[in-house]
Structure 1
Amino acid sequence: MHKKVLNIGIIAHVNAGKTTLTEQLLYKAGAIHQLGNVDKGSTTTDHLALEKERGITIQNTCVSFDFKDLKLNIIDTPGHADFSDEVDKALQVLDVVILLVSAVDGIQAHTLNLWENLREQQIPVLLFINKIDRDGAAIETVFYELENELGIKGFCLNYPTTQNELTSISSVNKEEEIIAKSFENLAELDDELFEQYLEETLDYTDIVAAKTQAFIHSQALIPIVFGVAKQGIGMEDIIDIISSFPSKNTVQSCQKNAKVFKIEQHPKFGKLAHIRVYSGTISSKDIISCKRLQAEVKINQLLQNTVGKLAPITTLKTNDIGIIAIADNLIVGDILGDDLPQNQDQNKLKSVLSVQVSALTEKDYHPLAKALQLLDTENPALNFTWYKSEKEFHVHILGPLQSEVLIHTFKHRFGIEVSINAPKIIYKETPKTTAEGYVRYWMPKPCWAIMTFKISPGAPNSGVTFSSSVGVNDISQKYQNEVKRAIPWSLKQGIKGWEVTDIEIELVKGEEHTVHSNPGDFLLATPMGVLRGIENADTQLLEPYYQFEIKAHQDLLGTIQSSLVKLNAQIEAPYFTDEIFRLKGTVTVEKAMDYNIVFSSITSGKGRLKLSIGGYQPCDFTEDKSREYRGVNPLDEAQWILHNRGAFKADDRMR
């Protein structure tokens, strides 16, 4: 009988104790025999030089081990918001998550972001209230903060009798306030238990424990464990409840099915692709289809990270996590085998900041290009763009700490000294009105592609839609497929130099030639026709904005509102809970890039500011917000044709 496989994620805001908790769980489970230390850079999951140096987690790290009748894969994730794309990649493959909250600091802004992601992806959660031994720890305050801010019914599975001792729920005094609240939450979910609660006869018997576990698994109750990760206090309670969770629902099919969630380079095994298997069994030497490549991929070798070392394995079964070695053609997000359920493949708006990366010496220009291409396969969120004619490299980032990490990575991993400029806002464009774009590509022969595109504004934050009302007698389906394939390239740069979005594109007229037409003609002609239509429609500039939520003492309301007015923020009416107010609204990213520093100064670090990308909205256009077209512009049709004819793969914009 195969062991149940459980994939566990450990997430939290920065410095909450995630890596320390991971280390203790590995130790308590017998997977390691000596505890590592974050401050000394000796933990199992932090292996990058900068992780050891700074004591922070930058990349997801998965450790696999057996525990009793279980196979456990634990993924330690970064806590800093600048690396939230790493957390998002991990969430796609997890069965259950341990979310840490400090008993001293309580809920932080990033905690709320993480919670919303967990709810959106319907991943079960255990809340671990850490650092209960610290001065200033307020377990009851944090308990009610969790209930109120997260909108949950909490259930405590243990209770601290002293700073270093815990009592299980079956033995604790039910008159303790948050224990009484836990039993009240439980009773509200079951009529029989509610009667016992009213009669004051509700005890934590085996029957009640079984019902509690069922409610925890359904997340009607959210389990809460108190402890001190650094001292290993509370670890047994975590292991007991986590082990009881079922694996995430899997694809009901005997077909092989997996997803790549991480790419990295290894000095011995080359390019590694980390995968979760959702269905079937994947074995070494298997040949499996890749949806993106539209081709088959051979599994050269399978590996697993067994506590600090990569060990060869022969098979990966349903739900398990492992590594494909020598995975040269795979990238993050690749689906192997059948399609995944819809909730397994999500794309979110993340970065709205761009930086230019430059080598300090000319000799490092091409090595830097190769390094950036490599990093882009490991982290597609970088969205690396190489403007070859301008000899410029640009990547997307989430914040300044990511720039620091990139500089360190280029120096220590690739031996390249680089500079990175200050982050710049990524604007976008959308059509102002409906217009048509016509293209006739018929010279020099052999070629023939004649098309008319209808360009219309799309709904806000709707992205790109493409349709065709042209029959296959006018343009064959194989040629229309090439038109559709060229749409993303066509929109990379609009007439103001930015990506075009919130647009509806319809192919309304066209013709092919039975002798002269070939698929490449329509691939080449599409950007000319689409850009011509966008030019005729003109574009509205769009800028990114934050949705903000503020929590602070009522005495600071006036000062905070004044600071937001200076940013031209849109502010909703505040609402109050005792002496604390909450304030929501929106503000442009351009205005609020440094507002976290201002806010921290106003509140002396005691307020909470949550910023999340809300989307894009129209803004006033000024010349400083436009960019020159990089590379060959499709609106210069003669040059575009000469540049691209027979050289589609040479142009980085056509990929």
Structure 2
Amino acid sequence: MKHSNKTIGIVAHVDAGKTTFSEQLLYHTKSIKQRGRVDHKDSFLDTHTIEKERGITVFADQGTFLYNGSTYYLIDTPGHVDFSPEMERSIQVMDYAIVILSAVEGVEGHTETVWQLLQKHRVPVFFFINKIDRVGADSERVINDIKHNLTTDVYDITSELIDGSLSEELIEFIAEKDEELLDAFMEGKNDQAYWKAAMKKLIQTNQLFPCACGSALQDIGMKSFLEKLDLLTEIHYSQEEAFSGRVYKIRHDENGMRITFIKALSGTLQVRDEVSYEKNGELYEEKITQVRAYNGSTFKNVNEGSAGELFAVTGLSSASIGYGLGTLKESRS
């Protein structure tokens, strides 16, 4: 199986359990040894002082894990409405997003804002209805909430793909999305590989939004969700083409050094490579002095970053968030 890099964003209204969900994924894939919590001030992704003080996610941080031959870059975004510009910048580099909803509160104001941003940037979405262990939880009500406020193209996959196959009901739902698929269904086509490939494509093109239920805190449904996420996501980046990338975050390290976070869209960027970008009509060419692979607040120096990967570099003095690098000339604010 071909290795692929997938950037998955975790987005939600504040307090829906987003960071706990992210920690569970990292824990299940042995990326971290123990699970922390934002409210306990010991979570892996919320390392900034403000986050520890307030017990909420303010900055979009990232974790990395390996699963089933793929490298996953996990971006945990702020759920608080005050920090949505930070979130929108992160959305622009996501391959897929997981929208976390509370099984008690359902679709909230900020969830709708998040949804609109994801639709604007055409990011495929999975829903995870969290906190099903809480008093007042009602996942069926939340699914109806999603249908009423966000999209009718949602389908509950909690009980699907248990043995790797799709139910007749799900196949029928998939078939209704496309005339060619409907013909295949009417002709009685029961090739599971065909329907899984069709489902993947519908997810990629924002025509189907899988949904699953569970509890991140109690670790209910997390392993199953991860398996399905892996099975239903696919992304291909070209390593062979010239380097292109987008800046999605700027930080300064403890020494005051400017760290530029990049999503590589094609090719490879190595230490000592020259990178070009435009700013205010002027062309800049600067040398990369370091390439860093981050996981939470820790990083290791590496020789290069490749297509589909998230990494950080030093050496770029003026490239701002949203800027296109290399052959990607178009920038987004």
TM-score, length of structure 1 as denominator length: 0.46
Q: Report the CA distance shift for 1:111/1:255 in structure 2 as closer, same or farther (over 3 A).
A: same
Superposition pairs of residues 157-172 of structure 1, within 5 angstroms? 157-159=157-159, 168-170=160-162
Give the secondary structure class of the aligned counterpart of 2:36.
coil
Q: Report the CA distance shift for 1:147/1:180 in structure 2 as closer, same or farther (over 3 A).
A: farther
Does the alignment pair 1:332 with 2:314? no
CA contact (8 A) 1:14 1:79 kept: yes
Does the alignment pair 1:238 with 2:229? no
Does the alignment pair 1:191 with 2:182? yes
CA contact (8 A) 1:289 1:297 kept: yes
Superposition pairs of residues 278-297 of structure 1, within 5 angstroms? 278-292=265-279, 294-297=283-286
Q: Which residue of 2 aligns with 1:247?
A: 235
Superposition pairs of residues 137-216 of structure 1, within 5 angstroms? 137-159=137-159, 168-170=160-162, 185-189=173-177, 190-191=181-182, 194-195=185-186, 208-216=195-203
CA distance in 1, matches of 2:29, 2:246: 28
RMSD, aligned α-carbons: 2.8
Q: Which residue of 2 aligns with 1:114?
A: 114
CA contact (8 A) 2:26 2:64 kept: no
When Rg is computed on C-alpha atoms for both structures, the one with the higher figure is: 1
Report the residue type matching 2:109 in the other structure.
A
Superposition pairs of residues 65-80 of structure 1, within 5 angstroms? 65-80=65-80
**Structure 1 residue 254: Cα displacement:** 2.3
Q: Which residue of 2 aligns with 1:257?
A: 244
CA distance in 1, matches of 2:190, 2:148: 26
Q: Which residue of 2 aligns with 1:576?
A: none
CA distance in 2, matches of 1:116, 1:268: 38
CA distance in 2, matches of 1:170, 1:227: 15
Superposition pairs of residues 205-604 of structure 1, within 5 angstroms? 208-243=195-230, 244-247=232-235, 254-268=241-255, 270-292=257-279, 294-340=283-329, 345-347=331-333
Percent identity, please.
30
**Structure 1 residue 287: Cα displacement:** 1.1
CA contact (8 A) 2:104 2:134 kept: yes
**Structure 1 residue 28: Cα displacement:** 0.7
CA distance in 1, matches of 2:195, 2:314: 48
Q: Report the CA distance shift for 1:187/1:246 in structure 2 as closer, same or farther (over 3 A).
A: closer
Does the alignment pair 1:16 with 2:16? yes
Q: Which residue of 1 aligns with 2:83?
A: 83
CA distance in 2, matches of 1:242, 1:323: 26
Does the alignment pair 1:28 with 2:28? yes
CA distance in 2, matches of 1:203, 1:233: 31
Higher relative contact order (CA 8 A, sep 6+): 2
**Structure 1 residue 33: Cα displacement:** 1.2
CA distance in 1, matches of 2:191, 2:240: 40
Q: Report the CA distance shift for 1:231/1:64 in structure 2 as closer, same or farther (over 3 A).
A: same
Report the residue type matching 1:147 in the other structure.
K
CA contact (8 A) 2:246 2:263 kept: yes
Q: Deviations over 1:115-171 (max 9, x none)?
A: 111111111110111111111111111112212222332222114xxxxxxxx4557
Q: Report the CA distance shift for 1:203/1:335 in structure 2 as closer, same or farther (over 3 A).
A: closer
CA distance in 1, matches of 2:191, 2:102: 27
CA contact (8 A) 1:10 1:98 kept: yes
Give the secondary structure class of the aligned counterpart of 2:38.
coil
Give the secondary structure class of the aligned counterpart of 2:23.
helix
CA distance in 1, matches of 2:202, 2:289: 43
CA distance in 2, matches of 1:334, 1:220: 29
Report the residue type matching 2:271 in the other structure.
S
> Structure 2 regions of 5+ residues with no counterpart?
none
**Structure 1 residue 329: Cα displacement:** 3.4
Q: Report the CA distance shift for 1:192/1:314 in structure 2 as closer, same or farther (over 3 A).
A: same
CA distance in 1, matches of 2:168, 2:104: 22
Superposition pairs of residues 48-67 of structure 1, within 5 angstroms? 48-67=48-67
TM-score, length of structure 2 as denominator length: 0.88
CA distance in 2, matches of 1:202, 1:281: 42
